[in-house]
Amino acid sequence: QNGVMSGLMQMLLLKVSAHITEQLGMAPGGEFREAFKEASKVPFCKFHLGDRPIPVTFKRAIAALSFWQKVKLAWGLCFLSDPISKDDVEKCKQKDLLEQMMAEMIGEFPDLHRTIVSERDIYLTYMLKQAAKQIELPRASENEPRKYVPAVVVGVVGMGHVPGIEKNWNSDLKIQEIMSVPPPSASSKIFKFVLKATVFGLLGYGCYRIGHRTVQFVLSMPATQSYLQRLTEGPQQ
């Protein structure tokens, strides 16, 4: 639905999610599910999903990577097997260690960090600021002065986004640019064509092999051989 490369990336990230779930016994994103449950207990509370849509993030991330970076990233995600403990998760809550991990990621895939982290920092900040605007109270008449009350907002975000949100909070943010999806590159088009050709080629070869073996099996059956023998003897007689 969202393109071949985006679909493959989602499959790989689901594999990572499954690996984390298996190692820790809990699925990533539990804080957001907990926020949803808590919001349902508060009268008149509106629950808003304020992150950038996943297809936009994936397509921008894929477009930002070169062909070899895509291969390297896919290879690393396919063979992810490093053990993860709850102590490792607790270490990530320490700001210094978290920033060190982010710096290592930036060094290896700077464009990926920009699209998946930095751009989403801007988007999350923008959505939080929109939610935090003062609320206008209803007026009895047009002549009555406008009155406002502050909005009460609880934002639940991943720890890796907190420094970026703090950095962007007092900036004049524009999200039009980071919501656009760039057209696919020539390498992406070639890869897509090669992938489709490979898949259809393998399917065609598989159908041929299955059909060939099926015909051989049917022809080797005694009933089939007897029937074919009668057919060949009939014209001779």
Integer CA distances (angstroms), 144 to 44, 140, 141, 169, in order: 26, 7, 5, 33
| Per-position pLDDT tens, the chain of length 237 | 666 666 777 777 777 777 777 777 777 788 888 999 999 999 989 899 999 998 888 888 888 877 777 777 777 777 766 777 777 777 767 666 666 666 666 677 788 888 888 999 999 999 999 999 998 888 888 888 889 998 899 999 988 899 999 999 999 998 999 998 877 666 666 767 777 788 888 888 888 888 878 877 777 777 777 766 777 766 555
The region, left, alpha or beta by phi > 0 then psi within -120 to 50, assigned to residue 145 is beta
Question: pTM for the whole thing?
Answer: 0.68
Residue 60's pLDDT is 86
How far apart CA 118 and CA 110 sit, in angstroms, is: 10
Nearest CA-CA partner of 102 in 162, 171, 56: 162
- Structure letter (DSSP) for residue 160: G
Residue 201's pLDDT is 87
How far apart CA 190 and CA 17 sit, in angstroms, is: 29
φ, ψ for residue 136 (rounded to 5)?
-80, 130
Chain center to CA of 149: 38
Nearest CA-CA partner of 122 in 192, 173, 179, 190: 173
Residue 137's pLDDT is 87
- Structure letter (DSSP) for residue 41: T
